[in-house]
Amino acid sequence: MQKYSVFSLIKNAFSDHQNWEVAWKDPTPKKEYDVIIIGGGGHGLATAYYLAKEHNITNVAIIEKGWIGGGNVGRNTTIIRSNYMHDDNALFSEFGMDLWRKMSQDLNYNVMFSPRGIINLAHSDAQMNAYSRRGNSMRLNGIDAVLLNREEVQKRIPMADFSDNVRFPIFGGLMQPSAGTARHDAVAWGYARQADSMGVDIIQNCEVTGFDVNNGKIVGVRTSKGDIKAKKVGLCVAGSTNILAEMLNMTLPIETHLLQACVSEPVKPLLDHVVTFGAGHFYCSQSDKGEMVMGGDLDGYNSYSQRGNLPTLQHVLTEGIAMFPFLSKLKMLRTWGGIMDMSMDGSPIIDKTHIDGLYLNCGWCYGGFKATPASGWTFAHTIAQDRVHELNSGYSLNRFNTGDLIDEKGLGTKTWIS
Amino acid sequence: MLYIFCPHCGLRSQNEFAYGGDATVKRPELNKEISDQEWNNFVYLRKSPRGKHLELWHHISGCRQWIKVERDTSTHEIFKTYKADELTE
């Protein structure tokens, strides 16, 4: 594989950038693989990469119905954080933060990781107390957390509404300085390029139409490009999880819902951090191009449509304007939607299933992007070793049976309530 | 914007309604010995189909009645709505 560097850039400039190697090939599927990963999104690509890199399993195919990175890894708001209170989530995400920090070097691909810090705003004394508790829990798990008072928040984001007589005055906030953003497409492409170079077949425009299960063991996958045999199969398909589960006669604690995001027209740099509104569900950061990147609530009813509805967008942006009044002056550039695999406790599932050789990675709700490296790393371990790693032992499928839920937000099964 | 036909009030916009989730999950019978698995199935497991989905909506800013709506989850087409106690096809 051609190494990307300033020298290769200069060298290729002489040939008008016409001679770059393709970043990944477009192979026809083989008859059989050791492992098939279904879903060429961030998590699937990362899984294949870590299978090859950490476990030396390279006879691997990624099967993707559309094109790689066309789902949620290309549709998110690029936020990376580990500001969780529960141990399972905190340790898992913080492990991921470490992978994020090394990712550009590791993949030889600039993922533009920008640890600009996230500030969760608080609008009451009670919320400050809750954040203080969450911050302490984070610090006990080795995650950086700083409780900011009103003046400290104002110093960092003076453009927020600090005027008198606002409905939700800013009391302060909880900041994780090491959180940030990354270039989402680059994450997919970087993993794809490295996985491909180690021998992984990335098969695009290939839809899974069924599974071959024999005596409780997976033996292959039926696809629109023919039947492919496999010793092990991993599902990494986010919002489409239930569609595949139905083919396997499995019913999962997952509902598919739609989440929208949007960007404004680009403006000069004014927002240094990722900021979330504490009296509703709205988050905002500024991209390197200058666009304000915004998101918030689910549309609120089961949906596979990948495009959103205006009432929710209006509601979300009303919250945004309450927090940052200047947003009302900006034009909207683009809006889009992605379909989320909402689990019944808000936490993911990375586990084996009752079918031998079939592994499940789903339930990321609207927090899947930041989890990409840790999810891929632990899922690769689970598949390669046929047992869960300590880091994803809490993310079991069985926890709904045993009552060991990880309900970070305390929302229960009503995933559409935010 | 979804337009939902409330069987009590007529056609109204989505803004008047709150979503209530899958209408096909059935609570286990009262006064019956229920296994953990049955509880798990009722509380947590969802089919979440792509296509026709029977779901509960609450006409919270209207007549405040719960209704059942048969809707397509990928096109958002609404086929039919029912009163909460009405039998569905």
Nearest Cα neighbor of A331 from A303, A294, A363, A304 is: A294
Contacts of A310 in chain B (CB under 8 A): 1
ipTM: 0.95
What is the predicted pLDDT for the residue at A418?
A: 65
Q: Do A251 and B21 touch (CB under 8 A)?
A: no
Strand partners for A211: A221
The SS3 of residue A389 is coil
Q: Nearest CA of chain B to the CA of A289: how many Å?
A: 31
The domain that holds B66 is classified in CATH as 3.30.2270.10
Contacts of A254 in chain B (CB under 8 A): 46, 48
Please state, in angstroms and rounded to a whole number, the distance separating the CA atoms of residues A25 and A23.
7
Q: Nearest CA of chain A to the CA of B59: how many Å?
A: 14
Nearest Cα neighbor of A94 from A76, A112, A81 is: A81
Kindly identify which residue of chain A lies nearest to residue B40, measuring between CA atoms: A401
Q: Do A309 and B21 touch (CB under 8 A)?
A: no
Q: How many domains does chain B have?
A: 1
Amino acid occupying residue A263: V
Write the CB contacts of A284 (distance below 8 Å, at least 6 apart in sequence): A271, A274, A275, A276, A292, A293, A294, A320, A323, A324, A327
Of A254, A401, A414, the CB nearest to B48: A254
Contacts of B71 in chain A (CB under 8 A): 301
All residue ranges of chain B with pLDDT < 50 are none
Model-wide pTM > 0.80: yes
Contacts of B22 in chain A (CB under 8 A): 255, 302
Contacts of B55 in chain A (CB under 8 A): 301-302
What is the predicted pLDDT for the residue at B43?
A: 94
Token code pair at residue A168: 């939700």
Please state, in angstroms and rounded to a whole number, the distance separating the CA atoms of residues A369 and A395.
17
Query: What are the pLDDT digits (tens) for A76-114?
Result: 999 999 999 999 999 999 999 999 999 999 999 999 999
Q: What is the mean pLDDT of residues A3-30?
A: 95
Query: What are the pLDDT digits (tens) for A133-154?
Result: 999 999 999 999 999 999 999 9
Residue B11 lies in a domain: yes
Residue B57 lies in a domain: yes
Q: Which pLDDT band, with edges at 50, 70 and 90, does A255 fall under?
A: very high
Contact A156, A273 (CB under 8 A): yes
Q: Do A310 and B1 touch (CB under 8 A)?
A: yes
CA distances from A64 to A44, A374, A386 (A): 9, 21, 23
* Helix, strand, coil percentages, rounded to 5, for chain B: 15, 40, 50
Does A28 reach chain B within 8 Å, measured CB to CB? no
CA distances from A183 to A93, A289, A378 (A): 18, 11, 22
What is the predicted pLDDT for the residue at A93?
A: 97
Angle, alpha carbons B9-B14-B17 (nearest 5°): 65
Burial of A253 (0-12, 13-18, 19+ CB in 10 A): buried
Contact A254, A343 (CB under 8 A): yes
Does A326 reach chain B within 8 Å, measured CB to CB? no
Of A311, A401, A416, the CB nearest to B40: A401
pLDDT surpasses 70 at A385: yes
Query: What are the pLDDT digits (tens) for A281-291?
Result: 999 999 999 99
Please state, in angstroms and rounded to a whole number, the distance separating the CA atoms of residues A383 and A356.
11
pLDDT surpasses 80 at A370: yes
Residue B73 lies in a domain: yes
Contacts of A400 in chain B (CB under 8 A): 40, 43-45
Residue B38 lies in a domain: no
Q: Which pLDDT band, with edges at 50, 70 and 90, does A410 fall under?
A: confident
Q: Nearest CA of chain B to the CA of A245: how many Å?
A: 9
Contact A276, A61 (CB under 8 A): no
First-last CA distance in chain B:
26
Rg (alpha carbons) of chain B, rounded to whole number: 14
What is the predicted pLDDT for the residue at B88?
A: 77
pLDDT surpasses 90 at A275: yes
Of A253, A254, A302, the CB nearest to B53: A302
Nearest Cα neighbor of A394 from A82, A90, A42 is: A90
Residue B44 lies in a domain: no
Please state, in angstroms and rounded to a whole number, the distance separating the CA atoms of residues B84 and B65.
8
Nearest Cα neighbor of A38 from A187, A263, A247, A275 is: A247
Q: Which residues of B touch A (CB under 8 A)?
A: 1-2, 14-15, 19, 21-22, 36-37, 40-41, 43-50, 53, 55, 71, 73-76
Please state, in angstroms and rounded to a whole number, the distance separating the CA atoms of residues B69 and A122.
38
Please state, in angstroms and rounded to a whole number, the distance separating the CA atoms of residues A54 and A61.
16
Tell me the percentage of chain A whose pLDDT exceeds 70: 100
Nearest Cα neighbor of A275 from A93, A117, A100, A39 is: A117
Residue B74 lies in a domain: yes
Contacts of B76 in chain A (CB under 8 A): 303, 305, 309
DSSP code per residue over B25-44: --PPPTTS---HHHHHHHHH
Name the helix (H) or strand (E) containing A220: strand A217-223
Q: Do A311 and B44 touch (CB under 8 A)?
A: no
Please tell me the total number of residues recorded for chain B in this structure.
89
Q: Do B47 and A246 touch (CB under 8 A)?
A: yes
Contacts of A304 in chain B (CB under 8 A): 50, 73-74
pLDDT mean across residues, chain A: 96
Q: Nearest CA of chain A to the CA of B72: how many Å?
A: 8
Place of tokens 């190697």: A21
pLDDT surpasses 70 at A48: yes
Does A401 reach chain B within 8 Å, measured CB to CB? yes
Beta strand pairing status for A201-203 and A118-122? unpaired
Token code pair at residue B25: 């999950």
Of A243, A255, A301, the CB nearest to B46: A255
Testing the interface with B: which of A250, A303, A310, A402 to mutate, by most B Cβ within 10 A? A303
What is the predicted pLDDT for the residue at A157?
A: 98
What's phi and psi for A57, nearest 5 deg? -105, 105
Q: Do B73 and A311 touch (CB under 8 A)?
A: no
Residue B26 lies in a domain: no
Q: Nearest CA of chain A to the CA of B71: how many Å?
A: 10
Contact A272, A153 (CB under 8 A): no
pLDDT surpasses 70 at A412: yes
Nearest Cα neighbor of A63 from A249, A228, A242, A198 is: A228
Range of the domain at B8: 1-21+50-89
Amino acid occupying residue A56: N
Residue B33 lies in a domain: no
CB interface of A with B, residues 272-311, below 8 Å: 300-305, 309-311
What is the predicted pLDDT for the residue at A1?
A: 86
Token code pair at residue A188: 């997919």
Contact A381, A373 (CB under 8 A): no
